[in-house]
Amino acid sequence: MALAFDEYGRPFIIVKEQEQKTRIRGLEAQKANISAGKAIARILRTSLGPKGMDKMLQSPDGDITITNDGATMLEQMDVDNQIAKLMVELSRSQDYEIGDGTTGVGWGTSRAGRATIRTSLISDLVTYKFRAFGSNMHDHPVLKNCKPVQVCLAEISVKAVLSVADLERKDVNLDLIKPKTKHKVEIDTVEKFQNLRQQEQKYFDDMVQKCKDVGATLVICQWGFDDEANHLLMHRNLPAVRWVGGVELELIAIATGGRIVPRFQELTPEKLGRAGLVREKSFGTTKDKMLYIEQCANSKAVTIFIRGGNKMMIEETKRSIHDALCVARNLIRNNSIVYGGGSAEISCSVAVETASDKYPGVEQYAIRAFTDALDAIPMALAENSGLQPIETLSAVKSQQIKENDTHFGIDCNDVGTNDMRAQNVFETLIGKQQQIYLQHKLLR
């Protein structure tokens, strides 16, 4: 390696390439993989749980991201090691399938890497049914406490999910909740048009006439239209939104019950959408304007409007909302829950420990090592909350065994009880299962 300086005097390191790099094998390779896993774990560990800390990440081109979302952190880390890359993949997969629990996957996986057993041994995971569905579901206190978001974000998210949920089919299409993109209303531009070409004039005339004939009172266009058309529309008192993104146009069509027509000749009265009120709103001192389309025929498309002091806050809020939407959606898909605060991991750990006794050979060591991996989650939660990790874990573990009750976990917020049921701290069963499943996948 050699130290050099660029034209601005900034130091950089020149690494002499390939010939010095040798492929490592066997024990050395295993050690390298374990230490890569550990390095990732160290980074994620302090972000786990309600008292986890945010991380500030800087991209090579200087962009800053502030987050405590495991998937985002791993995504932005430029990792080189294969095991580390696998962990990034697993976290991404948890994000894709479940949308939450990504820090837990990354962290738990790195711990689980130390053991080599099949997680099918974990059969004693106690699950509970979450029965709170119905029209007043969003009032349910349990759902409001749903991790990982604050009550207000949770409420917004639950409302949004319920508005678009298909409760009969137990499914939620999150595509119906999408952030808006920018669009502009161009009805107040006053421009003089002279010397309009005859043909164009007729074309636009026909177009506007057609819109009016079918009874349209507002025109929304995806790819924008000419100034001339805009002028004519304005002239004929037909308000128009000149440019809307494809996704938004689809959502507007769904919400208003309208049909998107590729050519205005295809317009018919039945294809028109309906909304009670369309208004434009501007915010504070910013020049941003938003178009509100309200009282729609079909309310199965919603928009969550996020505002914030800076881009980083908005991005992190978006991520939190995404997690919250996923938790609410997962509960609609499958209402089984396990209790959180590490209580599920502790009960699994106890179960695995008991099971390990049945294996007389060296396997027992590997099985026991997996209990360490499970214990790592409650330990990290305790540590991040300022508690003594080992003492707290052993106290909660013995409490679970003594009282034969799997609700006990880590009282991260110092509420005064470590009964997670009493605290309403729970996680979806499918989320937890997927976490353990993905960790298991890495081991095979």
Residues that bind ligand ADP (CB under 6 A): 47-50, 52, 68, 70, 100-104, 147-148, 340-342, 377, 381, 410, 412-413, 425, 427
- What 8-state DSSP symbol labels residue 54? P
Specify the residue, 313 or 415, whose C-beta has the smaller distance to ligand ADP: 415
Cα maximum dimension of the chain: 95
Specify the residue, 256 or 423, whose C-beta has the smaller distance to ligand ADP: 423
At closest approach, how far in Å is the CB of 413 from ligand ADP? 5
Specify the residue, 158 or 412, whose C-beta has the smaller distance to ligand ADP: 412
At closest approach, how far in Å is the CB of 374 from ligand ADP? 11
- With beta carbons less than 8 A apart as the criterion, state whether 407 and 76 touch: no
Q: Show the tokens assigned to 436.
A: 């353990």
Distance CA 415, CA 191 (A): 64
Contacts of 444 by beta carbon, 8 Å cutoff, 6+ apart = none
Specify the residue, 35 or 413, whose C-beta has the smaller distance to ligand ADP: 413
Specify the residue, 207 or 387, whose C-beta has the smaller distance to ligand ADP: 387
Specify the residue, 244 or 438, whose C-beta has the smaller distance to ligand ADP: 438
Specify the residue, 107 or 204, whose C-beta has the smaller distance to ligand ADP: 107
At closest approach, how far in Å is the CB of 213 from ligand ADP? 55
Specify the residue, 253 or 337, whose C-beta has the smaller distance to ligand ADP: 337
In this structure, which long-range contacts are made by residues 291-300, counting pairs with CB atoms below 8 Å and at least 24 apart in sequence? 291/183, 291/185, 291/241, 293/252, 293/255, 293/256, 296/255, 296/256, 296/257, 297/255, 297/256, 297/257, 297/273, 298/254, 298/255, 298/256, 298/257, 299/163, 299/255, 300/163, 300/164, 300/176, 300/254, 300/255
Q: Show the tokens assigned to 168.
A: 């009969």
At closest approach, how far in Å is the CB of 131 from ligand ADP? 20
- Residue ranges of the alpha helices (H) in 113-177? 141-144, 151-164
At closest approach, how far in Å is the CB of 411 from ligand ADP? 7
- Report residue 147 CA to chain centroid gap: 13
CB atoms within 10 A of CB 55: 19
Give the bridge partners for 290, in sequence order. Answer: 281
At closest approach, how far in Å is the CB of 302 from ligand ADP? 24
At closest approach, how far in Å is the CB of 104 from ligand ADP? 3
At closest approach, how far in Å is the CB of 114 from ligand ADP? 19
At closest approach, how far in Å is the CB of 307 from ligand ADP? 24
Compute CA distances 428 → 86, 107, 192, 339, 425, whole Å.
24, 18, 61, 8, 10
Strand-pair category, 336-339 with 426-428 = antiparallel
Give the CB-nearest residue to ligand ADP.
340
Specify the residue, 103 or 109, whose C-beta has the smaller distance to ligand ADP: 103
CB atoms within 10 A of CB 141: 9
Contacts of 398 by beta carbon, 8 Å cutoff, 6+ apart = none
